[in-house]
Amino acid sequence: MYSLFPALASLAFTSCALMAAPASAQAPAPNTADSKATSGKPRSAPAVATTPLTPEMPARAPYLSDATAPDTVAILPPPPRGQSAAETADKTIFAGTRALKGSARWELATADVADGPSAILDDFACVLGRKIDQSRSPALMTLLERTRLDIGRATRPLKEHYRRLRPFVGNEAEICVARTRELGDAFSFPSSHATQGWAYASILAALVPEKATQFFVRGKAYGENRIVCGVHWASDVEAGRTTASVVVSALQGDPGFRADLEKARAEIGKNLSQEGSPPDAAICARETSALREPIL
């Protein structure tokens, strides 16, 4: 069982209507009824691997080379399959979290669906107490943008190797984003966004260590919100955190990454010492309240 959800054993397993389709199934094309039902929902967050944080000046090269990039397929175990206890846990968690619709946690998970490439940075604004101004943070943006490419290279082989379907494919369970063919056709394991959230939390914790706990709490919640939204299995998110830890550990050995990390450290220290735009107090209050709500 996944340690992320210690209360899992107390959940009753729901009907097969909420279970994922077999591996041979294909994502259903959204029909007119689906379009009407999901017209008020956001589309899924932009793909980590292909959508730059800085569209006007996207990074062209990751930090890690072919020789130094870790082989994540060799490192991570495969996703749950068959009739294993782990797969049962995934299905139970997916079914149980559908009941969160309308809760503060569901609203936070929906808000975490990025409206743009760099929206994930806003998710850490309440921790920093300051919105990240990209125009005043070129070193930080370079650091995160190049790291994004390493994250994409680490998650892509796993997705293509295992080709795991998302939990909403083959059923009509409620999810917090629009059901699109594009999302249904995108493979689930591991969660790239959970990987990105945990990797960025790790980097920001290194830059502002006095707020490390808060960054990791928020990064963990960001990943869990992919489960709340119904677009990833719990094991996808756990694998995302593992992948992020692997990538960030490898990055520590790269001289270019370390140099950019120090530049970003000086930059963010300077920015935090100056007046800047605070995050919306009401949004931060709702976020704090939502994070107190357990997923199960």
DSSP character string of 237-263: HHHHHHHHHHHHHHHTT-HHHHHHHHH
> Is 50 domain-assigned?
no
Name the active-site residue from 164, 218, 232, 241.
Answer: 232
> Is 53 domain-assigned?
no
Name the active-site residue from 164, 166, 193, 218.
Answer: 193
Name the active-site residue from 90, 123, 150, 236.
Answer: 236
Residue 12, token pair as written in the block: 């009753």
> Is 216 domain-assigned?
yes
State mean pLDDT over 96-108: 95
CA-CA distance, 21 to 184, in Å (whole number)? 12
Mean pLDDT of the chain: 86
Q: How many CB atoms lie within 10 A of CB 43?
A: 14
Q: What region does 110 belong to: left with phi over 0, alpha with psi -120 to 50, or beta?
A: alpha
Q: Which value, to the nearest 10 degrees, does the dihedral of the CA atoms of residues 78, 83, 84, 89 take?
A: 100
Is 232 one of the catalytic residues?
yes
Is 236 one of the catalytic residues?
yes
Give the model confidence (pLDDT) of 130-154 as tens digits: 888 888 899 999 999 999 999 999 9
> Is 70 domain-assigned?
no
The predicted model scores a pTM of 0.87
> Is 22 domain-assigned?
no
Give the model confidence (pLDDT) of 245-292 as tens digits: 999 999 999 999 999 999 999 999 999 888 778 999 999 999 999 998
> Residue 58 carries which side chain, given as an amino acid letter?
P
Domain of 269 in residue numbering reads as 85-291
> Is 224 domain-assigned?
yes
Number of domains in the chain: 1
> Is 177 domain-assigned?
yes
> Among the listed ranges 4-8, 146-150, 207-211, which one has the minimum average pLDDT value?
4-8
Closest-CA residue to 173 (of 227, 225, 222, 223): 227
> Is 179 domain-assigned?
yes
CATH number at 212 reads 1.20.144.10
Task: Give φ, ψ of 136 to 5 degrees.
Answer: -105, 5
Give pLDDT, residue 277.
Answer: 86
In sequence order, the 6+-apart residues with CB closer than 8 A to the CB of 95 are 11, 13, 14, 18, 19, 173
